[in-house]
Amino acid sequence: MTLPKGFGAGGGAGATSADVERMIGRRVENMGGLITLSYIAAWLATFGGTAAGYFYYPWAYPTNSGHFAFIVLTIVESVGYLFCMKVTQEGSNKKSNGMMAIVMGSIAAGTLYISIFVGF
């Protein structure tokens, strides 16, 4: 990996994790909370977008279509969250599986609750 001037040992030596950390500013292993908050915000935004269809435009956005879109988008967001967390936690000593299970389980339960009880 080629580093900018001022980083690394110089010559053809590779970058150490400390060099990469200095360039980035923070290690990605420490960003699990930020990724989790982003995932929750994305899910809330998805609900907000489909809720506009449920409540403000019911003649143009049928409830069944809104539920389908909400469920599919939630699945896409969940897969993205899972990949982001697994890639950032790869090779680290962090134990994020419990947090991921709680958050994804809560989102799944919220999605099912909303799809079953909202709009009908």
CB atoms within 10 A of CB 77: 20
Residue 15's nearest CA partner among 26, 25, 7 is 7
Each residue's pLDDT tens digit, 56-83: 888 877 888 889 999 999 999 999 999 9
Inform me whether the pLDDT recorded for 18 exceeds 90: no
Inform me whether the pLDDT recorded for 55 exceeds 90: no
Q: Which has the higher per-residue pLDDT, 116 or 42?
A: 42
